């Protein structure tokens, strides 16, 4: 009995704080919406709980808190199955602060884009349905965001859907985006269009803005590796035009300093290894090679420094261990360039 009474508490205490608070807020907000909807009758909208473009300008907190409200039991159950385990994994990998920023940015920016889109549609078509009949709610934007995050950290991991379908993690986000596109073409723009916005916003955040720490302990932003490039989301048949469009957008963003530099003084960023990621292992090896090369070049920069290291070896002729120990004598300029390219 003692085990049964303490086990739920131990499980809850093992959940990271942001995941625990977000899950609890989702349950409470959704149940509150159900109660108010039941007591308020068919005319209840809850503009202070969900995002309605014509009313949310008076309730700005709904741009974020609308994600805490699932308007049906089915949506609530589905979100509780998917989101808490995903956030738990990401929070243990990133920490509480970065996970919280990821949630707020993915949900908030996606809802802002949807809000602006509905107002533009109203200004063009003069139909009030775009302002007062669109009700954005739930965690669809966050669902696609965590799928994008998993594509970054464990792209080759294989999952089994409904015990029947098997798929790699990196293929799931675009399947969800395709589902969103179909629903929008069928006339269900709200709330399914936020899936597309959530995909773009979360990718841009992880690619350019998410704060990391490189292998040397310096702050770094985003993930500029080729395996996480935007063009890889699309079939090879259209890589050409997508790559041109992405490069043009990147050049504009860089020109106007919309995105941070990839590293200090323009140096390439070396990312901290991520469990389960082959890309991270390759980046780690590259970091070690660059560090060894820097130490070798620094050691061979001045003859006086080499003489000092040799003279300090003592009577036995043994030199102190260093990175230079495993290499041949420092080559000339032409050979040094060859070594540099092979190390990288």
User: Which pLDDT belongs to residue 110?
Assistant: 97
Locate 52 and state its tokens. Answer: 């309605």
Domain-located, residue 314: no
User: Which pLDDT belongs to residue 210?
Assistant: 92
Bridge pairing between strands 158-161 and 165-168: antiparallel
Domain-located, residue 72: yes
Domain-located, residue 86: yes
- State the residue range of the domain holding 148: 15-209
Domain-located, residue 252: no
How far is residue 187's CA from residue 266's CA, in Å, rounded to a whole number?
A: 46
Instruction: Specify the CATH number for the domain of residue 108.
Output: 1.20.1540.10
pLDDT tens digits, residue range 143-185? 999 999 999 999 888 887 666 778 889 999 999 999 999 999 9
User: Which pLDDT belongs to residue 221?
Assistant: 85
Domains in the chain, number: 1
What are the residue ranges in the chain where pLDDT is below 70? 1-6, 161-163, 213-218, 261-289, 291-292, 295, 299-344
Domain-located, residue 324: no
- pTM for this predicted structure: 0.74
Domain-located, residue 42: yes
Cβ partners under 8 Å of residue 83, min gap 6: 22, 23, 26, 139, 142, 143, 146
Domain-located, residue 57: yes
pLDDT tens digits, residue range 254-305? 888 888 765 443 344 444 444 444 455 556 556 666 766 776 777 665 444 4
User: Which pLDDT belongs to residue 179?
Assistant: 94
220 beta partners: 212
Domain-located, residue 205: yes
How far is residue 268's CA from residue 224's CA, in Å, rounded to a whole number?
A: 9
User: Which pLDDT belongs to residue 279?
Assistant: 54
């Amino acid at each position: 009995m003692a085990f049964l009474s303490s086990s739920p508490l131990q499980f809850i205490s093992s959940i990271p704080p942001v995941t625990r608070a977000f899950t609890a807020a989702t349950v409470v907000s959704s149940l509150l919406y159900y109660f108010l909807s039941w007591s308020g009758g068919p005319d209840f909208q809850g503009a202070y709980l969900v995002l309605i473009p014509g009313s949310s300008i008076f309730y700005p907190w709904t741009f974020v808190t609308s994600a805490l409200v699932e308007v049906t039991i089915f949506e609530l159950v589905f979100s509780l199955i998917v989101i808490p385990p995903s956030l738990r994994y990401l929070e243990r990998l990133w920490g509480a602060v970065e996970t919280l920023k990821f949630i707020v940015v993915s949900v908030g920016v996606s809802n802002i884009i949807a809000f602006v889109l509905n107002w533009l549609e109203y200004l063009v078509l003069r139909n009030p349905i775009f302002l007062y009949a669109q009700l954005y709610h739930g965690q669809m934007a966050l669902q696609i965001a965590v799928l994008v995050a998993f594509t970054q950290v464990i792209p080759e991991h294989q999952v089994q859907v409904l015990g029947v379908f098997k798929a790699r993690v990196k293929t799931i986000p675009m399947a969800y985006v395709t589902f969103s596109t179909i629903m929008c073409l069928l006339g269900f723009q709200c709330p399914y269009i936020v899936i597309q916005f959530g995909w773009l916003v979360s990718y841009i955040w992880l690619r350019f803005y998410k704060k990391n720490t490189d292998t040397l302990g310096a702050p770094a932003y985003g993930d500029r590796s080729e395996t996480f490039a935007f063009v890889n989301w699309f079939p090879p048949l259209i890589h050409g035009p997508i790559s041109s469009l992405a490069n043009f957008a990147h050049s504009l963003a860089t020109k106007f300093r919309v995105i941070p530099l990839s590293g200090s003084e323009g140096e390439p960023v070396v990312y901290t290894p991520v469990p389960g990621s082959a890309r991270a292992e390759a980046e780690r090896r590259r970091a070690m090679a660059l560090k060894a090369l820097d130490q070798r070049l620094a050691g061979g920069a001045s003859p006086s420094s080499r003489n000092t290291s040799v003279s300090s070896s003592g009577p036995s002729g043994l030199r102190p261990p260093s990175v230079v120990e495993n290499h041949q004598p420092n080559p000339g300029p032409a050979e040094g360039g060859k070594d540099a390219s092979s190390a990288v």
